[in-house]
Structure 1
Amino acid sequence: MELSTVRDAFDRVAKKQKLSSSKSQEVIDQVGHEIEQALTKIQSVDDSSLPVDLKSTLTQLKLKFNAIDPQHQLEGSQKELSVNLNKYLKLLEKLFNPDISKAYINVDFDHHIVNQIIANHFYRNGLFDLGDCLINEAGEPEVSALKSHFLEMYKLLEALRIKNIEPALNWVAANREKLKQNASNLELKLHRLQFFEILQKRGRAGALKYARTYLAPFALFHLDEVQKLMGSLLWARRLEKSPYAELLNSAHWDKLTEELTQQFCSLLGQPYESPLTVAIAAGLEGLPTLLKLANVMAAKKHDWQAMKQLPVPVELGKEFQFHSIFVCPVSREQGSEENPPMLLPCLHVLCKQSIMKMSKTSSRILKCPYCPSEASVAQCRQLYF
């Protein structure tokens, strides 16, 4: 509803702007036309004729300007545009509160942890000088523990950007067992891209030699992939027109770079995305709900700062859902191994403790708090996320 109102108001402003622009151009064209006519009259003096009366010509031009009244016409169109624009701005201020500080709650953050999060964010994004500056000014040199690891990661990534896979292969070899536990095929993907690079630049013989040396060990568990690479040898001089043309796409190098970053962070025990980036993005998505709640609380004269739990859910996108959780709609408690979510026959879900409190005994029939259905504890089934 709010977006529809804003869209309609914007359309009205856009329409007025077009009309104002069209009217302004029309007035300017009229004035220009009259000036050109006067200049033509002045310049078209014939030798046999009397001199042109300049004063009379300019007087006539002034009278025509007065008849056109360009200032009045321009002021009228601009005034209509200004009125609609002011209404639009007031509507935006009403629907979208520009003071985001209203959604702020004082929290006693641990400054050491905050400095660590920010510094590691800089290191993760390759801003090593900025990270060093922060920890030096904050006086917390121990925060830079992850710096050396991210330096190593960026060296691998820089090498991949120039299609040099050797540093990445050395890292994979040193962490092969851990990568196997993550079910990663990073090593095979590196060799596959290198195989195609050699096939394009050195031809069939060079690619076949590389395959015998580096791809043969993968044939046991990745036979289909190796066979596909061997089939591409038949198209050595016309890969662009072959069934394997898609494998030449440079996007594969970008995907490999992304996967290497993911695996590197995983082995470090770090998330792929910077926690600071995720926190800010999630905050921006939930900000409209928080601002609306803050305004409602202020209108009811409730203390926003005293709240320990939000009375409304803040809906976030799937990219912010990192693990499945269940919060009982009755007790408002998060499900756990001791208090798991239970599915009622009516397909509503409550936590086990809530069901037991509602039934009081395992044999007593309980009524679902969300529909007229009734059930016993024995009819409820535990859900596993």
Structure 2
Amino acid sequence: MELNPIKDAFDSVIKKQTLSSSKIEDTIEQITQEIQQTLSGIQSAINVPSSQPKLILGELKTKLKEIAPLNHLEATQKELNIAMSKYTKLLEKQFYPDISKSYRNVDFDTHIINQIIASHLYRESMFEIGDCFINEAHEEETIVDKKTQFLEMYEILESMKSHDLTPALKWATTNHDKLQKTGSDIELQLHRLQFLEILQNGSRDEALKYGRTHFAPFATQHFHEIQKLMACLLWVGKIDSSPYSDLVSPTHWAKLADELAQQFCNLLGESYESPLKVTVAAGVQGLPTLLKLMNVMTGKKQEWQSMKQLPVPVDLGTEFQFHSIFVCPVSREQAGEDNPPMMMSCGHVLCRQSITKLSKNNSTRPFKCPYCPAEVEVAQCKQLYF
């Protein structure tokens, strides 16, 4: 979205408003001064029999007409109203476009859409709303497991907020083998927090017993970390004032809760971020480019509907890049299924279409690599997979 025109229009409104306010203040001050001078004149005239207060009031009337406050105020207010009107129209144009032009007529599977929405609601812990939605959409049978899984996750996270690790440790123990396969050490991190929590409460013997029981399986790979935890036994009840105070920082609880949520979703085969939230966020970011494209392609609706690939790039930022992207250094086009990246025998990589052009569509004809002196044959090129 181009924000410069909006900023310029906003600055214009501010300028007009400042000018209008300044003129109004000056006019009011000028009128006030004239009235005060007239009041002083009338008070002086009361003590002088020959004076005429009506004459003084007549002079005030004449001076007020010369000031012409209404004319001054109407002119500045009119300029402000015009600037405000332009700014409002620009906002409506920029922020309330007809987005129906930017999408294709696609027949969506209602059942899948309902599942995505219900899954998002449960993932965001909106269980009552999710129940209401699936009841009205008649999707109870297909989504009930999803609710149970995320309900368990949020019960664990809620317990962690009150420093109760029992549900989290039970989950980690149950999924011990799966967590090991993913290379996660979250089970050790949970035991570490539990160990430190016991020490903080002033029970050295209980902490030592807990450490001997639960740290042993991790001793080989995490020896130095466990050794550091054992040293904390010397500071029972006062770790926060010891050289190991960083171990009991409250941030560890928040980070571990976040990591547990990630691992929980990972074991479920779900992404950590809601797919619906990511899709909507990416769509909103790419919408201005799509709207501009449709304005250019006005009258070519059929061509738009039949396109397999957008003719312009849509920059969504690194947060929406979930896989590697290769752009051919020769054609400057992004690789795809129809035009995959190919590695030549010299090690350089081009897209298939560029290699076809360089070899003049002859699989046995050697051609020179555009980046080094080596000669390459099409048959020696290998397709790369990202």
| TM-score calculated relative to the size of structure 2 | 0.80
Residue 258 (str. 1) matches residue 258 (str. 2): yes
* Cα gap change, 1:173 to 1:373, in 2 (>3 Å): same
Counterpart for residue 115 of structure 2? 116
Q: Is the 8 A contact 1:363 1:377 kept in 2?
A: yes
Q: Is the 8 A contact 1:97 1:291 kept in 2?
A: no
Counterpart for residue 13 of structure 2? 13
Alignment of 1:246-325 (within 5 A): 246-298=246-298, 303-324=303-324
Counterpart for residue 77 of structure 1? 76
* Cα gap change, 1:316 to 1:45, in 2 (>3 Å): same
Compute the displacement of 1:140 (Å).
2.2
What CA distance in whole angstroms lies between the structure 1 residues aligned with 2:241 and 2:41? 70
Q: Deviations over 1:260-306 (max 9, x none)?
A: 11111111111111111111011011111111111111066765334
* Cα gap change, 1:253 to 1:61, in 2 (>3 Å): farther
Q: Is the 8 A contact 2:102 2:287 kept in 1?
A: yes
SS at match of 1:80: helix
Counterpart for residue 125 of structure 2? 126
Q: Is the 8 A contact 2:344 2:376 kept in 1?
A: no
What CA distance in whole angstroms lies between the structure 2 residues aligned with 1:36 and 1:85? 36
Counting aligned pairs with the same residue, the percent is 53
Alignment of 1:43-82 (within 5 A): 62-82=61-81
What code does the residue aligned with 2:154 have? Y
* Cα gap change, 1:110 to 1:383, in 2 (>3 Å): closer
Runs of at least 5 residues in structure 2 that lack an aligned partner in the other structure: none
SS at match of 1:341: strand
Alignment of 1:234-245 (within 5 A): 234-236=234-236, 239-245=239-245
Alignment of 1:163-202 (within 5 A): 163-202=163-202
What CA distance in whole angstroms lies between the structure 1 residues aligned with 2:207 and 2:54? 90
What CA distance in whole angstroms lies between the structure 1 residues aligned with 2:215 and 2:24? 72
Counterpart for residue 336 of structure 2? 334
RMSD after superposition: 4.0
Q: Is the 8 A contact 2:340 2:384 kept in 1?
A: no
Compute the displacement of 1:110 (Å).
0.4
SS at match of 1:221: coil
Q: Is the 8 A contact 1:343 1:383 kept in 2?
A: no
What CA distance in whole angstroms lies between the structure 1 residues aligned with 2:308 and 2:245? 58
Alignment of 1:90-169 (within 5 A): 98-144=97-143, 145-169=145-169
Q: Name which of structure 1's ranges 76-85 and 372-381 shifts more when overlaid on structure 2.
A: 372-381
SS at match of 1:298: coil
What code does the residue aligned with 1:248 have? V
What code does the residue aligned with 2:267 have? L
Q: Deviations over 1:202-230 (max 9, x none)?
A: 26565445434433443332112222323
* Cα gap change, 1:212 to 1:301, in 2 (>3 Å): closer
Compute the displacement of 1:177 (Å).
0.5
Counterpart for residue 26 of structure 2? 26
What CA distance in whole angstroms lies between the structure 2 residues aligned with 1:102 and 1:82? 32
SS at match of 2:230: helix
* Cα gap change, 1:45 to 1:283, in 2 (>3 Å): same
Q: Deviations over 1:345-364 (max 9, x none)?
A: 6955213x763576344441
| TM-score calculated relative to the size of structure 1 | 0.80
What code does the residue aligned with 2:224 have? D
Q: Deviations over 1:173-203 (max 9, x none)?
A: 1111001111111112222223333333326
Compute the displacement of 1:47 (Å).
11
Counterpart for residue 226 of structure 1? 226
What code does the residue aligned with 2:159 have? A
Q: Is the 8 A contact 1:102 1:291 kept in 2?
A: yes
What CA distance in whole angstroms lies between the structure 2 residues aligned with 1:49 and 1:109? 94
Q: Is the 8 A contact 2:202 2:236 kept in 1?
A: no
What CA distance in whole angstroms lies between the structure 2 residues aligned with 1:15 and 1:335? 54
What code does the residue aligned with 1:292 have? K
Runs of at least 5 residues in structure 1 that lack an aligned partner in the other structure: none
Compute the displacement of 1:334 (Å).
2.6
What CA distance in whole angstroms lies between the structure 2 residues aligned with 1:350 and 1:32? 79
SS at match of 2:215: helix
What CA distance in whole angstroms lies between the structure 1 residues aligned with 2:15 and 2:31? 25
SS at match of 1:316: coil
What CA distance in whole angstroms lies between the structure 1 residues aligned with 2:77 and 2:302? 45
What CA distance in whole angstroms lies between the structure 2 residues aligned with 1:195 and 1:49? 98
What CA distance in whole angstroms lies between the structure 1 residues aligned with 2:212 and 2:45? 96
Q: Is the 8 A contact 2:346 2:376 kept in 1?
A: no
What CA distance in whole angstroms lies between the structure 2 residues aligned with 1:302 and 1:319? 33
Q: Deviations over 1:108-159 (max 9, x none)?
A: 0001101111111111111112111112112222232311111111111111
Alignment of 1:209-220 (within 5 A): 209-220=209-220
Compute the displacement of 1:5 (Å).
4.6
Q: Is the 8 A contact 2:178 2:267 kept in 1?
A: yes
Q: Name which of structure 1's ranges 65-74 and 237-246 shifts more when overlaid on structure 2.
A: 237-246
Counterpart for residue 350 of structure 2? 349
What CA distance in whole angstroms lies between the structure 2 residues aligned with 1:54 and 1:212? 104
* Cα gap change, 1:106 to 1:211, in 2 (>3 Å): same
